[in-house]
Amino acid sequence: MATFQRISREEAMRLVTAPRRLAQPEYSEYIRYIRQLDEATAGRLVLAEGERPVTVRARLRAAARAEGKELDIQRRGNTIVFMLRSERS
């Protein structure tokens, strides 16, 4: 029979994100962006030519997950705005 353990949500997020994925240079950049945010700030990324919004969103989410955080992400045109999800959301 499987062994059950209760773990924190943060630990769970770290467990499901592949370490090799986060070791890629672009992920460390996204992690730096996430670490700069607090409840009173947001981040804005302007996509480069040929950059896919779905890829940028996935990297942002993976970086946030690795940091034990959740993001709210919105896109308009070639601009992505992201902020830490508040406890109330």
The predicted pLDDT at position 71 comes to 95
- Mean pLDDT score of the chain: 84
Q: Can you tell me which residue has the tokens 């946030």?
A: 64
Q: Can you tell me which residue has the tokens 């607090």?
A: 38
Structure-block tokens of residue 42? 């947001």
Orientation angle between helical segments 53-66 and 25-35, nearest 10 degrees: 70
Structure-block tokens of residue 7? 């773990």
pTM of the model: 0.71
Q: What confidence tens digit (pLDDT) does each residue in 3-20 have?
A: 778 877 767 766 766 666
Q: What confidence tens digit (pLDDT) does each residue in 21-59 have?
A: 555 666 788 989 999 999 999 999 999 999 999 989 988
- Domain range list for the chain: 9-84
Task: State the Cα angle at 24 between 59 and 37, rounded to 5°.
Answer: 45
CA distance 77 to 2: 47
